[in-house]
Structures are given as structure tokens and as C-alpha cells.
Amino acid sequence: MATLCRPAIAVPEHIITREETLELARTLHADHPQLELALRLIGNTGVQTRHLVQPIEATLKHPGFTARNNLYEAEAKARVPDVVNRALEHAELTVRDIDMIVYVSCTGFMMPSMTAWLINTMGFRNETRQLPIAQLGCAAGGAAINRSHDFCSAYPGANVLIVACEFCSLLYQPTDLGVGNLLSNGLFGDAIACAVVRGDGGTGVKLERNGSHLVPDTEEWISYGVKDTGFHFILDKRVPGTMAMLAPAMREMAEPHEWDVSDLDFYIVHAGGPRILDDLGKYLRLEQSMFRYSRQTLVERGNIASAVVFDALERLFQDGGAEHASRGVIAGFGPGITAEIALGTWSGAVTGNGHRARKTSADRNSSVTLPA
């Protein structure tokens, strides 16, 4: 049975705080008729720091879509390999052991995909399968896990590398002045996450079952307007309320597995914003502490799109993991409105007292800030 191993995470070195974000909004949009509302919404996100691939001065400039996409490609090629190598080390595998690479991103475009570049430059086998996923937004992290699980189920013993590379700051559009856009400018951050799904062996989440759910007639709630200036993020005010529709879908997916989604041991879910976590706790009748890893990701890094679920999972690893055979759920939410949901049990070394061995302080230093 396939196991999702410990992720490796990297965030860029440029940091912007909540206070700096609010001051920028006041300075850049002093005459905006809904400035006070935007400031209140940004403050309510709970995001304290975000990481950016460029200094804020460069981020606020728009040199054109061509220059931005070129920067996306250059930054991805400079930063991804180190994160890949650390994820492979966590899984105790090498590039030659990988049978498929799943690359997810909604913040830049390459063709051939980044998967081809990785195979050519890092020594992966030429027959390594490639699965780029570009249009599932924040849900793509969950989709990458689920498609990796499917592949390992179809090809027992196969191994899959997942790469999530999100530079959300490259989507900043200075002419988009709606309140939703101003909120997004204070919510999203940049990060890279990589993880391996092992067909056999490994420590982490043993994947048991996965599923998808699309909420009908919500295609316009989260979308991109693709224009000469690049991707323009469109966020409908109804999005924060989607857990009313997605929480029941999570419950329904777990029931055939004879699991109660309100009675699991760990929850790794996409933290699109605080309302998502608040409502999920309400509808699943869970204490907010059950979402502490997702909440920490949101506070320290903002919404890092498809990388959120991996960052939250890494925080579970940093905390020593879960009890052996503990049950949990991983869920990514994104445009569509789409949910990608995985159920799994914790698989790992167990000490003599029946508890999983805790990580050492050296083991915990796996989330790093990468220099330019």
C-alpha cells in the first residue's frame, strides 16, 4: 500500500509582515472607497508573515507577463532541485527509484513541463512518467497525492515524486482594485514543497482511499482572467462559505470506508483562509486544535496554494508524527469548487512503549528558507 512520506519545504528569503502589508495598502490605495473594509479583511486572515521570490519593491512592479513568466521559470529551476533531493532523502530513495513525477503549479506556465527539465538535469530515468497539473489551483496538492496513490495502486511497488511550486506573488496585478483582490494581495505567499509517495515501505501516511467532489455551478467563484498582463485572480465573496458544501462531501467519502470523518486522529487540510478552518470545525464538530498544523501554515506563510497540505503535513512530522495506525484525512480545496480528499493511517517506527519515535531536533530542521 502506498505511503506519503515526509515532505520537504522551502520558502524564499524575502519576507513581508502583516503590518507592512497593511501599511502598503494604506499607502497605495489611500483613496479607495472600501479601504477600511479591505484592511479589516486582511487583518482578519491571521497571516503574520509571507515569503516572496522578490523584494516587495520588485513585486509591486509589473514588467509584463513575458518577464514574469521568465522569472517564474528561472526561480523554479534554481530552487526546486534542492527541495527534491531533501524529499528523496526523507523517503530513502534516489532519482533512479522514481517512476512518475507529478508537478503542480497555478502561478506560472512552462511547456515542456518542469517535469521534463527535472528528468534531463537531475538524472531521473528517461522512462519516468510525467504528470503536470496546472489548472486545479489550491486543490492541486490534494490531487497530486490522489493521482500518485492511483498510480501506485495500478503499478504496485512504484514510487512517485510530487513537486508543488507556487510563486503567488508573481500574480500581483496593480490595476485589480476590487476588495477581493486587495484581500488576496495580503493573503497569498510563495513556497515550494516536494514529497514522495512510496509504493512499498516508508514512514508517513499510508494512503487508504481517495476521492474528488465538485460543487455544481461554482465555476466562477475562483478563477483566472487570462489577459495580456497575465493571470488575474478572481475571488467571489461566496468562497469562504464553501465548507457548508464540502464538509458533507468529506463525510460521505469516508462512510463507505466505515470511518467517521468527525472522529479521526489528524486533519491536514488546505488553509485557504481562517473562515475555511473555522467552518470546517463547526460542520465536522471538531475542536479548532485539530487544525493546528494548517493554521500554523496560514499564520507563518499565508495561503501557499497547492503547497499548503504538504507544509501542514511537514508540521505534523516536526511534531513527532502520529501514533502508529492513527487515522487521518488530507484535503485540498480549490477552483471548481473542487475538493480532493485522501484518507490514510499513520505508518512508522514504534518504540517499546507503543508510541512512535519522536524526531530529534536535527530531524526537525527540514523546512528552510532558500537564498536567491
Q: Provide the annotated active-site residues.
A: 138
SS3 188: strand
Tell me if the bond preceding 112 is cis, omega within 30° of 0.
Answer: yes
C-alpha cell belonging to residue 1: 500500500
- Grid look-up 512504484 returns 158
Nearest-angstrom CA–CA distance, 17 and 296? 15
CA distance 122 to 216: 41
Taking Cα atoms as reference points, which of 11, 23, 25, 15 lies closest to residue 48?
15
Q: Under a CB-based contact definition with an 8 Å cutoff, are residues 325 and 128 in contact?
A: no
Query: What is the identity of the amino acid at 347?
Result: S
Phi and psi at 143, nearest 5°, equal -65, -40
Amino acid at site 132: P
Packing angle, helices 292-301 and 308-318, rounded to 10? 120
C-alpha cell, 88: 528523496
Nearest to 264 by CA among 207, 202, 345, 203: 345
Q: What is the 3-state secondary structure (H, E, C) of 260-274?
A: CCCCCCEEEECCCCH
Q: How far apart are CA 285 and CA 271, in angstroms?
A: 17
Residue 52 is which amino acid? L
Residue 132 main-chain phi, psi, to 5 deg:
-80, 135
From residue 31, alpha-carbon distances to 25, 27, 35, 180, 234 in Å are 10, 9, 8, 17, 22
| DSSP 8-state class, residue 109 | -
Residue 166: phi and psi, rounded to 5, are -125, 115
Residue 27: helix, strand or coil by DSSP?
helix
Is residue 48 packed enough to be buried (19+ CB in 10 Å), middle (13-18) or exposed (0-12)? middle
